[in-house]
Every structure is written in structure tokens, then in C-alpha cells.
Structure 1
Amino acid sequence: MADEQWGAAMRLLWGPQPPAKPARGPKRGLTLDGIALAGIGIADAEGLGAVSMQRVAGELAVTKMALYRYVPGKAELVALMVEAALPVPPEAVGGAGAGVVGGAWRERLGVWARDLYAGFRRHPWLLEATVGVRVMGPRELGWMERALAALDGCGLSGAEAMDAVVLLAGHVRGIAEQERAGGRPVGGDGEAGGGGSAAVGADAELAVMLGEVMRVRGAEFPALGAAVASAAEQGGYGQALEFGLERILDGLGLLVARRVGGEGGR
């Protein structure tokens, strides 16, 4: 059953590729990388919904039937696109268990989260394409590997480490989703420092709207009014990524300290 459902995507992402059948018709001249890049170009410009086998075939100047010789359907096409569009995960250095580039586990996970955020900003459609049960390729699994490696030696169980990675990824995705929903152009390399210029713009617009409401009905929402006024005064917009990331890492730090300190279970 698994082979029927995911076999084609597994072969495309993980190989080895089945030998080409000697078939009549045009000589095979496309590559999987070229096909993925054509799909990425469409998705970057118009969104994932605009991607179809017909559109990609048109971009490559071949017929849809010719494209099917390489990729059996849209699900497999999107899987190839995800694998090509994701940035290379931060490198592990220093041997087994060394985790992501330099520093302690907290610094490593910080690098991981900010780089992932930059990847989502570069290709916002990845947010839609990387949900649900599906075949993940080597690069996508590499991201999970790097985060788990950063937690190696911290005393967490496998389940706890996996949950920590899910928590971090969920925070990154949530901020990126807010930017995307705000309709801001979030392409380019991304600005991972505090949430990016798109996040600042969306937050500022929300503050303007809330400010108008508070001006008329502020007495009904005193805590909200005070928070909006303080944020406006201190210029505290667009910091949600960093604030949430630091608080998540603070919480993990407490758990790691208990585990390493020998306090045992929860």
C-alpha cells in the first residue's frame, strides 16, 4: 500500500531512478532539477495553486505527456519542488552529535530557526507544500537531523527532542504565515533578525487599526490600549520571531538544566 501511495515520490527523491524505457517519441532531454526549477518559478510568482503539469510543461516547451515521462503527477512534482527550494540545512561540524555550526545547543537551534524562517520568506508557498503526511526528501529530513543533533547530549528523550523541534518549527511557520497572510512581498533572502520588513509593516498596520479603535473605545480594553501605546512608543514592532524564539529556548533551557542536573523525569 505504501509503495502504491508514495512509491513514485520515494524513487524520485531518494533514487535510484528506474532505467528509462526505450520508447518511441522525442528523445528524453529534461532533468528533474530543471523540472523542479520550472515549478518553483511558477509558485514563486503566482503561488502553489498555479502550478500544474500543464503549466510546467509549457514553461519547459514540451507537451504534458512528455513531462509525464519524468514525473507521474503533481504530488511528485511538488515533492521535487520542495526538495529543490528548501535551503541547505546548517552544516553539522565537529563529528557525530556536534549539531549545527558552532556554539551550544541554544545557539545552534537559534541558527536553525532563523535559517528556516529565511527559507520560508524566500519561497512562501513552502508553507503550504510542507504540511501533512507525505514523502520528505534528503534535504528536508536534513533539517530535522540538524535540529535533533543540536539537542544531542541535553538529556532529553527522543520524544521530547522531536517535540522541541516541532515547537520551534511551528513558531517559525506561524510568523511566516502571518507575513504571507498580510499580503506582503516576502521574497529575497529574508530578514531573520526580528521578523523581517514585511512583519514590521504588517504589525504597524495592525497597530494603526487598533489605535483607531482604542481612540474611540479604549476604556473597554485598557490592557490592550496600554500595550498598543507602549509598542508604538518603543517601536516594538516586528519582533515576534525573536521574542517567541528566545522564550521557547528559555523553556527548553530549564528542561535541559533539570535533565543534565540529574532530576530525572518530568
Structure 2
Amino acid sequence: MINLLWGDPLPPTRGPKPAMTVEGITGAAIALADTDGLDAVSMQRVAGALSFTKMALYRYVPGKAELVALMTDVAIGPPPEHKQQPWREALRTWALDLYAAFEKHPWLLLSTVGRRELGPNELTWMDHGIRALTGSGLNGGQQLDAVLTVVGHVRTVAQQSLTMPGGTTGVTEEHITSALSEVLATQAERFPGLAAAMRSVDGHQNKGLTFGLDVILDGLEVLIKRG
């Protein structure tokens, strides 16, 4: 697995000159996940998409777990490069880039959980997040915890709002607000706090991602200033 993820693919052990590549197999699997969801990916379906037999795939990729690891690292890709920014702007930009990666391939929300092998692109994302905090005054443990906190927030918003291919439909804040307004039109007295909050909503919904990021960054700023 390490060889496949880190750029040293294992050659087929027998048979004629390779008719497939690990890159081609991974690309076909990503296209399938983008269309039908991660659960739709199987060695059989990927082989069919490439007009080969399932057994032929096993000469290049040992199994589905290894294939999903490859898909994940290729799909997430390397993080975008940006000009140097102060730590707060750099970490905020990094978080929005991460959300965009989940938006492009929502099934990454499923493939990036649990115990698994980590690839170079995914570790590069983590490295960039840590580097955003270099010189901030936070120690290494605090930097890692800060990045993991930001990742948790981004994932939570993405899991709620993004539509999964072949799966659940995302729910935006406008959907939630509309549903609440419909209920509160006749039930406001039962939920006075919620009704009062809804009356003060200014119409700028779908700000949960950036609002939460700013709250996290505000907290980090207090911690940094405290020393």
C-alpha cells in the first residue's frame, strides 16, 4: 500500500506488457464515485468501465481498500498555493480551499475517516495548515490541535450542506430557515427563543462556514495574544 500511495507502484507480477496503469484505474474509480457515490465503487465496476476483467485489476491494485486510498489522495490533490499571508488569513484561506475540495468530490467526506493509510497529498494539506501557524507563537501541539479543530468545522458544514453523489441531498441554511419559518408561523408560542432569533435573521444565510471559522480564529487569536 505504501508503495502505491507514495509513487512507487508495484509492477504486475505476471502476464504480457501492462495494458492498464494504476493512474488509469484510479481515474476510472474517481469518475464512478463522482457520479454514483463511493459505495458504488467496486473492483468489478471499475474493471467494467475500463473493459477489463476484475481479475486483471488485481495485478495492479490489491483490493478495494487500496483503491479507495489511491482515489482519496488523487482526488484531494495538492492544496492550492497562495502568496504569503498573516497566520489568520492563511489558515482561513486554507480552510476555504479544503471546503472547495470536499465540494468538488463530496465522497471524500466518507473516504477520509477511520484508520487508513495516508497519502502524500493529504499530508501536504496538513503540512500547509500547520505552516500557516508557523511564527504565530503556538507550539507544535497547539498548531496541530488548531488545524484539527478547523478541519472538524469544515467537515461538519460540508457533511450537512453538500449533496452526496448517489446518496443524501445537502441541506443549506436557507432550507433550514424556510422549514423553521413554516413551523413557527403557527407554533411560535411553544418556541419563544427560536421565534425571537428567527425574527432577527437578516437574510444573509449560508454563512455557517465562515462564521464558524471566524469564531475559531478569534479564539486562536486570544490564545496567541495571551502567550
TM-score band, normalised by the shorter chain?
over 0.9
Post-superposition CA distance 1:192-246 (Å, at most 9, x none): xxxxxx97x7222221221122111111211211222222xx2121000110011
Q: Which residue of 1 aligns with 2:55?
A: 65
Counting aligned pairs with the same residue, the percent is 50
Q: Which moved more, 1:39-48 or 1:153-162?
A: 153-162
Equivalence map 1:1-266=2 (5 Å): 9-21=1-13, 23-24=14-15, 26-91=16-81, 101-180=83-162, 183=163, 202-231=172-201, 234-259=202-227
In 2, the alpha carbon distance for the partners of 1:43 and 1:20 equals: 25
Count the aligned residue pairs.
224
Q: Unpaired segments of 5 or more residues in structure 1?
A: 1-8, 92-99, 186-197, 260-266
Task: Give the letter aligned to residue 228 of structure 1.
Answer: M
Opposite residue 224 of structure 1, the aligned amino acid is L
User: Which of structures 1 and 2 has the larger relative contact order (alpha carbons within 8 angstroms, sep 6+)?
Assistant: 2
Structure 2: runs of 5+ lacking an equivalent: none
Amino acid at match of 1:212: E
Give distance in 2, aligned partners of 1:206 and 1:106: 30
CA–CA separation in structure 2 for the residues paired with 1:62 and 1:19: 17
Closer, same or farther: CA 114–138 of 1 in aligned 2, 3 Å: same
CA contact 2:12–2:60 (8 Å) conserved in 1: no
- Contact kept in structure 2, 1:113 and 1:169, CA below 8 Å: yes
Dislocated runs of 4+, deviation >6 Å: none
Distance 2:11 2:32 in 1: 29
Looking at structure 2, the residues matched to 53 and 38 of structure 1 have their Cα atoms a distance apart, in angstroms, of 11
CA contact (8 A) 1:90 1:146 kept: no
Q: 1: CA distance between counterparts of 2:150 and 2:159?
A: 14
